[in-house]
Structure 1
Amino acid sequence: MTSQPSRRGDPEPPDPLPIPVVDNHTHLDISREGAEIAVGDLVPALRAAAAVGVDRVVQIGCDEAGNEFAVAAAEAYPSVLAGVAVHPNEAPLLAARGRLDAVLDRVEQLAAHPRVRVVGETGLDHFRTGPEGRPVQEESFRRHIDIAKRTGRALQIHDRDSHDDVLRVLAEEGAPERTVMHCFSGDLEMARECVRRGYHLSFSGTVTFKSSRGLRDALAVTPLELLLVETDAPYLTPHPWRGASNSPVLVPLTVRAMAAVLGVAVATLCESLSENAERLYGPW
């Protein structure tokens, strides 16, 4: 989850994809305008996404309320699976209130739910959390890794300005068999190291930004069998709608940009993206 300045205007739906894909990481409970969103309010977004070939999503929780929302959404909609976690930036805040252990215990309880297939987003964030909060972030990250391994769930990782430390902790703890770098933001060498370790790399709308040449270089060395696509909605809206509120309906813009970088047909990439998500998370 990352913030982005807002822009007026509602994006127009792109042309449908030839083969349906999965939005690997979205936050449909968050409104950039501050509006309260209920589980029943998701129907228009899910229908719009399905109409352009994004027929499945992974709804990610980041805090107590978000985790409960993700599970409820996954129970309510066949096209939704859930992820639950304490976001790295939430961990120091919860620890200061003496609540971190209790919330992590609840994450573990929810991770056993049959519609929860992801532990995450967890990881490290050295951009928004200063040095004083980083030991707690790392402690929380290690706990999430353990939960993912013991519950047999995939792990989705938030990594912001903390690449070396994320890779270090994963090596020290032993990464789960199914590990995903959500909203991959590393460089070419980090991508190669993640590929060497067998991690999946999930690319968001940032790969479409003119300034993201390094990210496209990283994408270019990632094998099709390790690729995923995501929105991180309502943030990181792809070009040409950068600044507007993001939604799964815009995934086709990112997919087509990824296919161009990889030099493959859009249908070929779509098939891999769908197969990879089903292999990671199981059937919807």
Structure 2
Amino acid sequence: MSKKPRTDTPPGPPPAPAPLPIAVVDNHTHLDISRDENDPPQVESVLAAARAVGVDRVVQIGCDLPGARFTVEQVDRHPQMLGGVAVHPNEAAKLADTGALSAAWTEIEQLATHPRIRVIGETGLDYFRTGPEGIAAQQDSFRWHIDLAKRTGKALQIHDRDSHDDVMRILEEEGAPKSTVMHCFSGDINLARQCVERGYYLSFSGTVTFKNARELRNALAIVPLERLLVETDAPFLTPAPHRGATNSSYLIPLTVRAMADVLAVDVPTLCQALSDNSEQVYGTWAV
């Protein structure tokens, strides 16, 4: 999905930040999605630029059928990459309208059998882009993905936009998988506490660097190191001071250093925790 460029964004890609002292994982990126009508990124170039700054592994997320197929193809080619497949909640509502949702689930389940697909996601609920008429389909799809994650033993990555209460309720009703990740966490302290109490992982993106994200930083501050992950959600949510530019995995160090400041921990300690947590959730990237 493309967005209009911000008029205050400087031309060209942002410069590379200083490398991290210990390599971390970009827990959620979309290498199949372009932005501002540009061509999709060159996968090899993205991975090389990320590796140069200490982001040596990524989780590529395909959240529609073309993206899921792309993800399965790419994880076979790149040892730095693991993948996730799902029907995004907004996509689920559209497919339900055409009677194609069940067939999409069938293909996602087949693609999820690939050994380097370690994630079912992103799934969840999005009440921002889909109106009340799509809620039932989104919730049905969310429940189906939760079940698939449990049946396959894979991690669940959750998209939650303007739907916190229903996301938490459905996870409680269905029973969350062993590894449940709140992708691009967007809640407040109370939601963060609930997630930590339930044993979920909270993944923070470039939004934590935004000037108006005080509540999000407050939520981050109460999350134990052993429950943290970091992501880009590229090509979106580029961290400050480059907000509005196209995001990419090589910009993760900006988010990691901002997180370390909020948590009052040194950067190497946070990097080690982020790396360890990623391996705990997704397993090894080694071929």
Query: TM-score if structure 1 supplies the norm length?
Result: 0.97
Mean CA deviation greater in 94-103 or 193-202: 94-103
What is the CA deviation profile of residues 24-78 of structure 1, one whole-angstrom value per residue up to 9, with x for unaligned ones?
000011110334438xx31111000000000000000110100001111111100
Q: 1:111-190 residue pairs with structure 2 within 5 A?
A: 111-190=112-191
Of 14, 28, 31, 2:34 maps to 31
Question: What is the alpha-carbon distance in structure 2 between the residues aligned to residue 110 and residue 172 of structure 1?
Answer: 26
What is the CA deviation profile of residues 136-169 of structure 1, one whole-angstrom value per residue up to 9, with x for unaligned ones?
0000000000000000000000000000000000
CA contact (8 A) 1:2 1:236 kept: no
Question: What is the alpha-carbon distance in structure 1 between the residues aligned to residue 250 and residue 40 of structure 2?
Answer: 18
What is the CA deviation profile of residues 66-118 of structure 1, one whole-angstrom value per residue up to 9, with x for unaligned ones?
00011111111000100000000000111111110011111111111101000
User: Percent same amino acid at aligned positions?
Assistant: 65
Mean CA deviation greater in 186-195 or 8-17: 8-17
Q: 1:65-144 residue pairs with structure 2 within 5 A?
A: 65-144=66-145
- Asked if 1:19 is matched to 2:25, the reply is no
Question: What is the alpha-carbon distance in structure 2 between the residues aligned to residue 2 and residue 262 of structure 1?
Answer: 33
Mean CA deviation greater in 91-100 or 26-35: 26-35
CA contact (8 A) 2:64 2:86 kept: yes
Label 1:83 to 1:126 Cα distance change in 2 as closer, same or farther (>3 A).
Answer: same
Instruction: Give 1:29's aligned amino acid.
Output: D
Instruction: Give the 3-state SS of the residue equivalent to 1:267 in structure 2.
Output: helix
Question: What is the alpha-carbon distance in structure 2 between the residues aligned to residue 103 and residue 138 of structure 1?
Answer: 15
Instruction: Give 2:89's aligned amino acid.
Output: P
CA contact (8 A) 2:184 2:205 kept: yes
Instruction: Give the 3-state SS of the residue equivalent to 1:202 in structure 2.
Output: strand
Label 1:203 to 1:2 Cα distance change in 2 as closer, same or farther (>3 A).
Answer: farther
CA contact (8 A) 2:5 2:36 kept: no
Mean CA deviation greater in 142-151 or 8-17: 8-17
CA contact (8 A) 1:2 1:235 kept: no
Q: 1:50-69 residue pairs with structure 2 within 5 A?
A: 50-69=51-70
CA contact (8 A) 2:46 2:248 kept: yes
CA contact (8 A) 1:237 1:244 kept: yes
Instruction: Give the 3-state SS of the residue equivalent to 2:272 in structure 1.
Output: helix
Instruction: Give the 3-state SS of the residue equivalent to 2:156 in structure 1.
Output: strand
Question: What is the alpha-carbon distance in structure 1 between the residues aligned to residue 75 and residue 45 of structure 2?
Answer: 16
Question: What is the alpha-carbon distance in structure 1 between the residues aligned to residue 35 and residue 23 of structure 2?
Answer: 27
Instruction: Give 2:73's aligned amino acid.
Output: A
Q: 1:191-206 residue pairs with structure 2 within 5 A?
A: 191-206=192-207
Mean CA deviation greater in 91-100 or 248-257: 91-100
What is the CA deviation profile of residues 174-223 of structure 1, one whole-angstrom value per residue up to 9, with x for unaligned ones?
00010000000000000000000000000000000010000001000000
* Runs of at least 5 residues in structure 1 that lack an aligned partner in the other structure: none
CA contact (8 A) 2:2 2:35 kept: no
Q: Which runs of 4+ in 1 moved over 2 A?
A: 1-9, 33-38
Question: What is the alpha-carbon distance in structure 2 between the residues aligned to residue 108 and residue 18 of structure 1?
Answer: 38
* Runs of at least 5 residues in structure 2 that lack an aligned partner in the other structure: none
Question: What is the alpha-carbon distance in structure 2 between the residues aligned to residue 167 and residue 15 of structure 1?
Answer: 37
